Amino acid sequence: MRQERIAAAQELMQANDIDALLILTHDDYIYFFDEDRFQPRAIIPQKGPPVVICSRAEEREIRESLGAQEVRLFATVGQQMHEVVSIMQGLQSMLGRPPTIGVQFWFETPAVLLQLFQQANPQAKVVDSAPVMDTLRMVKSPEELALMQEAARIAERGMEAAVQAVKPGVTENEVAAEAVYAMRKAGASGTAVPIFVNSGVRSLWLHGTATAKTIEQGDFVVITLVPVFEGYCVDLTRMAVAGQPTDDQRRLFDTYVAAQRAALEAVRPGVPVSELDRAAEAVVKDAGFGEHYVKGMSHGIGLRFEETPAPTIQPKHASVELQEGMTIAVGHPILAVPGIGGVRLEDTGSVTATGWQSITEYPKELFIRN
Amino acid sequence: MRQERIAAAQELMQANDIDALLILTHDDYIYFFDEDRFQPRAIIPQKGPPVVICSRAEEREIRESLGAQEVRLFATVGQQMHEVVSIMQGLQSMLGRPPTIGVQFWFETPAVLLQLFQQANPQAKVVDSAPVMDTLRMVKSPEELALMQEAARIAERGMEAAVQAVKPGVTENEVAAEAVYAMRKAGASGTAVPIFVNSGVRSLWLHGTATAKTIEQGDFVVITLVPVFEGYCVDLTRMAVAGQPTDDQRRLFDTYVAAQRAALEAVRPGVPVSELDRAAEAVVKDAGFGEHYVKGMSHGIGLRFEETPAPTIQPKHASVELQEGMTIAVGHPILAVPGIGGVRLEDTGSVTATGWQSITEYPKELFIRN
């Protein structure tokens, strides 16, 4: 358990008038407790020890794992919410007023759980926990960077396996199988999002999947890997082509290489996130592909695949200024030109005092696979 | 695209006073559109054609995939919500009153998206889409059963690989790597939840994960696989032991085999879901492990890992009566006895006119692995 992180969160809760954090997601749970559960459930009050809600049979193991902290128990799923209600009531009688509860508002917090919580605790005021959690998590410690470097080594092994597997006649799923296997064998506990192997017309997808589609001669193949190591992930995207690329495909690829480079050169402390987009978009416009540019050249990354600043999810994040120690993925949006295909290169790195330090390392070439 | 399913949904929407369904999850999207997207987003009004919201570059591919239906487009993530707002406003002016919108309230619907929707469309009344979607989806068609049978063949290949990989000195992650690889190679597009390889003290977990923990001599190992084939999944759990089982481990395992058998023998149309628990719990009590029994012996399964009836998630589902053609997983809760370990066997099958027909097939023995 991370006492110093919990203490720092409690200070920020005080500054932001949040009485307790309700933790329902893996990222925040791992951040504070240094371990993971299938259903992470905890409450961190502004004062006093955190409460972890677990099943009765897990009690001994979790007490040993966390140390001598208070651990609330539930024996059925129904009782889990009873525990939360009794904690909330205790909090309210201690405060002498309804508590303000910080909850993560991102894609992993289920609407149904939040609805259940609000029905069971109608007096509680639910607010976004971002002022606490983003402040804590945006800048990474050296220890966190080391975990992301390990995730990057795993991503490189996965990319090597994926690139080797691409050839005409192979399915996207078969490429995904090789990459996932290589990453698990290299130490990944899984991937933060399912691996993307987008070939041919599917290379135009804004996002991706891997499907039973066969990779055909001439297909562009977008490969995105987001392996997880001890909770931390990196984002790595590279491109292959089955057979020989056309001149248009080559030109589109070269444009993205230059656009990503321009964005990376713009990285330094104090620069707003929107500046990376401005730099990349200028290159894409010069190459004549401006009408196909989709904004959102970068996003924060760490314990979550996309974390603050993530302007494609929260437009206001475009004005967030980069800070030394932030980790970001650069090269996020697909440059999709119907008739040619879609192209993307993505790397994860950290903001240094003077610029960009890449964490992921893999050659930025268009891999030609026959 | 499934016109007949859309028409059936529209009839149920009319009967339940729902003006439109807002689709934000893979399961409902696949059910209606017979394909999947990374961010599935669609609106099905009570009258007229459905609206699929996709990125501009995907337009041509999605039109070909779906046929000549109306497809709304968005070019940035910000505009996606604008599209939804304009559709909602159109709906309201057509109806002459604020629309009632059905949304799935389950774990995959993100709180943040629902909050965004409600902020952007404050006049819309959001209700649970379950009266429409559960009615449509609980009973499976022969075509759906065939996809689940294919998922079951994949699960068996994965279980074989996992069981072969278990031995003292191997990590849980290594076992998971082999199972996931075998399932992908056999045609899985992935798994509905990360694979569980819970060994030793971790076998006590209510749910699971696979970790870097080494499997030790004497460890119970719970292996749960939920592979996905064309959107449909099955749940298969088997047990191994590293080295020789103790008498207590053997007795606990045998108890679960008997408890699952009792639950399966209780399956027939008209029986409430709670009856399966009653039957299993009686066996567990007779064996002297009653205090460790956790309720929730079955759950619905299909396009979602857990779907209605799922009494561990919605307690009121305990009173849902089984119907012919429902697909359920039986053997859900861990029987976790500190000092001995946790045990679970889980199979997926369908409710027939007279009882239970298993879809998953794998020997129900305690696999002894040295």
Domain ranges of chain A: 3-136, 142-369
Backbone angles phi, psi at A102, to 5 degrees: -90, 130
The answer to whether B202 contacts A61, with C-beta atoms less than 8 Å apart, is yes
Encode burial over A2-23: b for 16+ CB neighbours within 10 A, e otherwise.
eeebbeebbebbeebebbbbbb
In three-state secondary structure terms, A150 is helix
Measured distance CA(B155)–CA(B295) in Å, rounded: 25
Select from B30, B107, B112 the residue whose CB has the most chain A CBs within 10 Å, as the one to mutate to test that interface. B112
Tens-digit pLDDT profile for residues A220-235? 999 999 999 999 999 9
Tens-digit pLDDT profile for residues B213-224? 999 999 999 999
Of A57, A76, A185, the CB nearest to B342: A57
B295 CB neighbours in chain A (<8 A) are: 76
B190 CB neighbours in chain A (<8 A) are: 194, 210
- Average pLDDT over chain B, rounded to whole? 94
Give the least confident one: A69-73, B232-236, B277-281, B316-320: A69-73
Of B36, B173, B336, the CB nearest to A189: B173
A337 CB neighbours in chain B (<8 A) are: 57
Does A214 lie at the interface with B, CB-CB under 8 angstroms? no
Residues near B235 by beta carbon (within 8 Å), at least 6 away in sequence:
B224, B225, B226, B301, B305, B329, B332, B346, B347, B348, B360
Residue of B nearest to A196 (CA): B38
B202 CB neighbours in chain A (<8 A) are: 61
A114 CB neighbours in chain B (<8 A) are: 111
In three-state secondary structure terms, B59 is helix
Q: How many CA atoms lie within 13 A of B225 on its CB side?
A: 34
| Res A65: pLDDT | 84
Structure tokens at B193: 């939840």
The answer to whether A338 contacts B313, with C-beta atoms less than 8 Å apart, is no
Q: Is B270 exposed, middle or buried (0-12, 13-18, 19+ CB in 10 A)?
A: exposed
Fold type of domain A142-369 = Creatine Amidinohydrolase (3.90.230)
Residue A177 to chain B, least CA–CA distance (Å): 5
Of B77, B189, B194, the CB nearest to A211: B189
Residue A277 to chain B, least CA–CA distance (Å): 13
DSSP strands (E only) in B235-361: 236-242, 298-300, 327-330, 335-337, 341-343, 347-351, 356-358
A112 CB neighbours in chain B (<8 A) are: 105-107, 109
Does A326 lie at the interface with B, CB-CB under 8 angstroms? no
Residues near A339 by beta carbon (within 8 Å), at least 6 away in sequence:
A248
Structure tokens at B117: 């929707």
Structure tokens at A298: 């970068």
The answer to whether A57 contacts B295, with C-beta atoms less than 8 Å apart, is no
Letter for the amino acid at A283? V
Structure tokens at A183: 């990453």
B103 CB neighbours in chain A (<8 A) are: 111
Residue B329 to chain A, least CA–CA distance (Å): 18
Structure tokens at A68: 């001598």
Does B331 lie at the interface with A, CB-CB under 8 angstroms? no
Of B109, B187, B336, the CB nearest to A111: B109
Residues near A346 by beta carbon (within 8 Å), at least 6 away in sequence:
A224, A235, A236, A237, A260, A329, A330, A331, A332
Of A55, A108, A184, the CB nearest to B173: A184
Arithmetic mean of pLDDT, B296-309: 96
8 Å CB contact between A289 and A255: yes
| Res B244: pLDDT | 94
Of A75, A177, A188, the CB nearest to B184: A177
Q: Is B241 exposed, middle or buried (0-12, 13-18, 19+ CB in 10 A)?
A: buried
Measured distance CA(A153)–CA(B61) in Å, rounded: 35
Q: Which positions 139-178 of B are in contact with A (Cβ < 8 Å)?
A: 173-174, 176-177
DSSP B171: B
8 Å CB contact between A34 and A67: no
Does B192 lie at the interface with A, CB-CB under 8 angstroms? no
Q: Is the pLDDT of residue B278 over 90?
A: yes
Has this prediction a pTM greater than 0.90?
yes
B212 CB neighbours in chain A (<8 A) are: 187, 189
Q: Is the pLDDT of residue B322 over 60?
A: yes
| Res A1: pLDDT | 86
| Res A69: pLDDT | 66
Look at residues A187, A166, A189 and name the one whose alpha carbon lies nearest to residue A176.
Answer: A166
8 Å CB contact between B342 and B139: no
Does B190 lie at the interface with A, CB-CB under 8 angstroms? yes
Tens-digit pLDDT profile for residues B38-79? 889 999 999 988 988 888 888 888 888 888 667 776 655 566
Does B110 lie at the interface with A, CB-CB under 8 angstroms? yes
Could you tell me the CATH superfamily of domain A3-136? Creatinase/prolidase N-terminal domain (3.40.350.10)
Q: Which carries the bigger pLDDT value, residue B328 or residue B53? A: B328
Of A106, A111, A190, the CB nearest to B114: A111
8 Å CB contact between A366 and A239: yes
Sheet holding B327-330, edge to edge: B298-300, B327-330, B347-351, B356-358
| Res B81: pLDDT | 76
Q: Which positions 296-325 of B are in contact with A (Cβ < 8 Å)?
A: 296, 312-313, 315
Q: What percentage of chain A exceeds 70 in pLDDT?
A: 98
| Res B75: pLDDT | 59
Structure tokens at B275: 């009856």
Select from B38, B118, B294 the residue whose CB has the most chain A CBs within 10 Å, as the one to mutate to test that interface. B38
Select from A76, A195, A274, A312 the residue whose CB has the most chain B CBs within 10 Å, as the one to mutate to test that interface. A76
Instruction: Print pLDDT tens along chain A (370 aa).
Output: 899 999 999 999 999 999 999 999 999 999 999 999 888 999 999 998 898 888 888 888 888 888 866 777 665 556 677 888 888 888 999 999 999 999 999 999 999 889 889 988 999 999 999 999 999 999 999 999 999 999 999 999 999 999 999 999 999 999 999 999 999 999 999 999 999 999 999 999 989 999 999 999 999 999 999 999 999 999 999 999 999 999 999 999 999 999 999 999 999 999 999 999 999 999 999 999 999 999 999 999 999 999 999 998 888 999 999 999 999 999 999 999 999 999 999 999 999 999 999 999 999 999 999 9
A165 CB neighbours in chain B (<8 A) are: none
Q: Which carries the bigger pLDDT value, residue B116 or residue A135? A: A135
Residue of B nearest to A113 (CA): B107
Does B353 lie at the interface with A, CB-CB under 8 angstroms? no
Of B107, B211, B315, the CB nearest to A189: B211
| Res A211: pLDDT | 93
| Res B306: pLDDT | 96
Which top CATH class is B3-137?
alpha beta
